[in-house]
Structure 1
Amino acid sequence: MGNTHYSNAFKTVAVLLQMVFLIIVIVVFSLLVNLFGRSMFTLSDVGTDSFFDSSYYTKVLSGQLVDLGNYLQFQGSREKSEKDTIKYKQYKMQFEGENSNLYYWYENGGNIRTNMEIEEKYQREYVLKYARELGSYLYYDDSRIYFEGNIKGKSYYFQRNILRLFQNSGENGGLIVAVDMHLPNDDEIKEAADIYYAYFPWVEISVFLGILSSMCFVLFIIYLTLATGRNDEDETIRLYRIDYLPMEILLAVFLIYISFLFAFCAKLGQKSWDIASSLILAGTLVFISDGVLLTLYLSLVRKIKADIFVSTSLLGWSVRTVKKRMRLQPYKRGTVIRMVFLVVVAFFFAEEAFGKGRWWGYVGLLAEIALVFTCTLSQENQRMEILSGITQITGGNMDYKFVESDYTGECRIMAERINNIGMGLSNAVEENLKSERLKTELITNVSHDIKTPLTSIINYVNLIKMENIQNEKIENYVDILEKKSMRLKQLTEDLMEVSKISSGNIELDMQQINMVELIYQTGGEFNEIFEEKGLTIITRLPKEPVMIFADGSRLWRVVQNLYNNAAKYALKDTRVYVELKVEEGWAEFSMKDISEQELETAPDDLSERFVRGDESRGTEGSGLGLSIARSLTNLMGGTFEIHLDGDLFTVSIVFPCIGFSAGT
């Protein structure tokens, strides 16, 4: 059982849920910021359910009192500018008629102004009673400097906005302001109340959801931090393509995105947004930002878990490169020291030239540039010469040597080491050739040494057979001796043939050969052998001659070896297919048979020396027949191929034709 809490399904759900909870947190935060920013909500409003008991109502009413004060001052002014006249008309539309839920009664110097439509509007006591009945009111008696009302902060707002109306009021100055709490008219107070009742009930729920969502978001981030890169099957940290990007690139993406986000938010901040639009916009930005930032964060976590944080960092690569360079040979450190020296001198000359305007600074800077250019060009030429020498060595010229005195610095050290490598390769090749020569000589000598006594053995066997042998057992022994001696003779001849091919001590008499005739002749020699084993030959040869350019005796040896191979290793009582076909100027001779034993060797290995003998010691094969056939075919300019399909063994040789017409 795997750890199902690390499954892809769990991780996908966790990603989606953390995104949902983060959106809730940000939307709640945005809602509270909007409410606080618009003074629609303060901490003192907690537990307050009525709009008329809230700080938002106090703020709205304060604005209304400012406008009312300006309106009353305009009423008492006889001369008004054009701008004041427009404002006056606006205030009149705001406070007169049926456009306002705010009612006022103002007395100053015996003059009474009011928008209350009551019969006793000139009697202060009745007006004050009416204001109290409306629900929310303020009353100020200037003669007694007396405040009364049920609006939060009434004294502060009267002092700030109303007292300036009573600078020359006389003895009976006073002001009564009342708001009908039923809000029958559509004005600014009614609009503020609608907004308040639309959003304020969500404040407490939003705070609770915000706290709960914050906790859930943190828990899911912790889970994703533990689960990312892991799976149910093993403990291997699985990485994605983004994880192999350098950390600096991911950091750059993060900074670019954050910069873009701040710039975008600043641009949006220049416009006025209602609360609903701002919440939708905040949720959308969080959705996009969470996808980007979570991807970068989880990639960072996987880098740390897989211990590739430093190895995939550009800074880490730079540090490793510097350390590696500093650990190199002394001449490398010397190169670094020279480079640092040249940079310091260049800065010095540049300061003298461009900073202080001294002529010798320009001269020194130009001289240093010329020196660096010359040295760089010389080093590049030396490197090109070394590359050319390496090309010659890899091309087989083992005797190529660099003149070490012609090189300097790193190039000289490379030339010395390449010379040593070339000398080692040359020695290895020479030793290998020497070893091959010794092997060839050994085979030749052994074959010659065996051939003389073997000839005597064969001759004596023939003499014995000429005697009148009456003992059947002895006659059987002589037959076995004859077969084994002939096999040994064939093996000796094969070894000498291999020796000649390996040493290149073989001469070819290339001439035009009729492949059809050669195959018929060879097949005729093996008819009796194939019949003894129950093999049926199916021959498919063209009716017309197929001429190729080859050594007749060597080609006959090749075809003979292929027939001999089929006779030895084909399954008894099966068919052997012999085919010669001509296609696009190439003559292809092939033989197919079913192998008596299971073939587990690769096709190319079957034509190596002694492979058949090694794996089938119970048969009469030596493992040299196919090897000799392949070598002779290649020497005569042909190609030799072996194909295996289960137990189906196919061998083919291909030669270019010399003028052909193939009909079947």
Structure 2
Amino acid sequence: MKYSRLSMQAQKLIASVLHLIFLTVMFAGIGTMYLNDNFGVGITRVQNMAYEDTDEFTRQFNRDLNDIFQYIEYNSTFESGGAIDVSKEMLQMTFGPNETESFSLADIISYLQSMGYQMNEDFQCTKVSTPAIDARTREGYIDWAASEPEKHYSYLIPGTRRASLEEVSLEIMEMLHQYYSTYNRLLVNPSNLHFKVEYYDDESSTKRATVYANDRDLTSDTLKTYGKYAYLPGNSVFYDTNLKSIALNTVSALAANNPYNTNTFYLLAGVDTTYPVQDVYSNNRDAFRSMQHYYISGFVLLVTGGMIALLTLLFLLKVSGHKNAGDKTITLHGFDRTSTETGIVMFSLLTIAGFAFCRLALVRIAHLVLPEESWALSERVLYTAVFYLGALLLFFSLLRRYKAGTIWTGSFIYRWSERMSIFFTGQSFTSRMVVSFLAYAAINTSLISLAWFLWDRIYLSKTAIYLLTGMVILACVAFNLWIFYLLFKHAVEHDMISTAIERLAAGETSYQVNLDDFDGREFELAANINNISLGLESALQEKVKSERLKTDLITNVSHDIKTPLTSIINYVGLIRRENIQDEKILRYLDVLEQKSNRLKTLTEDLVEASKASSGNLKLEISDIDFIELVYQTNGEFEEKFASRHLELITTAPEETLLIEADGRRLWRVLENLYNNAFKYAMENSRIYIDITKDNLRINEEGLILPPQVVFTIKNISANPLNIRGDELTERFVRGDVARATEGSGLGLSIAKSLTELQKGSFEIYIDGDLFKVQLAFDVKEKPKPIKPAKTPVASADTVKTSAPAVEISSVPAESSSEDRS
């Protein structure tokens, strides 16, 4: 039967069983790796590492070095003639005034046997019986003991150790046991550890030498043929070794056991890593190899079990809540329809009941069938399994609620907040903050007081107290996290409102706030911002529509005026060809021709102003030498300025300044400015033209801007200027209020619009009767060409110019009368 043909309920059951089985396999792998661990090494190095490179090998080697020096230290204490001497004195104690006794090794052994101890062949003592009635434990002061051969005491000296004879005897036998075990393991029986410690008295006549070794033929050369070695001469404090580390106390121990007053001694120790004999090193090597196999097996179980457990869990996550395959509706169980908090409490109580059942039944069964050393592990496994099952059931219940969209809306907190929201809606922010803070402080105080009451007033078992206190702490943490969520949510709402206001202030009038993310007073504020946005957008659309209608009206009317006006001009020309002799009629024709030409100019200016202000112009951008263009303009207007006795003074740098602009439109700007100066400048005055390059430009953010060429034209007005500079750039506005001169009031407006279309700046400054216009364009950096010399006049800094013989093909030689706005 195919798996897909099974019912959804059967698929869920199979997936759940497989999940638990392979979860058990995964934890079995973890347990196998834990029992055969090599923490910090990694799975690859565990597989490839040799036993000799492990810390355990180094620790065993250092333990053996310490045992060797302990053997050397106690050799003279326990041995005579190469064997254990039971007649040697091992202990001297004072039991009272003039009552000092000495005990040999045989005396101590006899005494311990009388106290019920039994010794094996390695002198290890074990209590086997109760001592006889006449045996008594004697206490006194220790004068000397073989367990500490270098220390000698007197019972008259304060601080002398007082102990029982049994206690000291056991210490001596324990030391003898360690000594004899080292002797048997490293000297009597074959060992993979080869060592030699030699002290040589080269200053005596007999050249005495004392050697402790299990390989007397060992030399520094043969030592290095072994896998691991350590060589320490007496005249050095550093080992010659290939081990990872050597204990530093062995350096001092080598010198401390020197029986001669010389530095001619050394230590040789090495491990034959071919392991020809069976000892602790070979056994540890075999155990390490077994650990490697178990560790790899545990890792395989961990990966296999974890992957399949994860896949089954993901499958259960996908199908949880669905009754049939392909069904998108979510089916809730009976306990899923309760409030979210009720479900959490219910599964928590179910888990607690599972813990109680484990403690009362399953743990006792485990104690009956498992050995005592496995009881603690089995208890942890059972409790972990119960906790995991309870947490898994709760998780899937919450998951089904989440899929159905009821995890929050079905909670008691949500219902309570919905009922309490009536107290907050319509209230001021200050009132809401005060009420919220008081409620927050009250709930936290209640939870903290409850935790204190449980600890101080409730008399239950420690487990129950811990459990109840943990639940209170969990409730306190959950409450504070919920408060943090609300504060964070309100902060996000305020940020969204602030962003909306900033974007509206920046001119984005169509921006709308998503009201689904707001509630309470913030919802009302966001809705009002949206209403403001709609009002601004509506007003802006009306303004754009009005401007478009104005532009269309100007264009259409101008076109309708130009058609009959062209006919009038043509007929005036035809009348002049009739050779009329009447002076009166000729004067009439002059007036008619002058007024019709002015009307034509005004009509053309209207169309151009409309196109310039709306940006409905096609620009032909090219590289223009701005200084050459200014000189060209100076030449065009020099004769015209002279007719009103106006002196043109130009100051310009001796370099080429290129800008990117439309030559025809830029000529139009300069022409309007020069015409404006011609009409309104005071006669017999000067007109100043200044061209500079502004290199150091830094904006408000501290960023360096590209250099600009700045053009300035200044003159003294013939009439008082009682108007602001920004008003002069408006349409049909003239500085000549009496309108004694001819002009349309559009010249400066057209110049400003054309300048801004070419990404330049246009500014008018009025200071008393001083009228100044300033243009600025970004300079296009280019290698400097050779500049033709200009004829200096007036001074070294200023020049009076006429139009140079420079042809600018992109600038038409047309002119029109313009008015100062």
What TM-score, normalized to structure 1?
0.46
Which one has the bigger helix percentage? Answer: 1
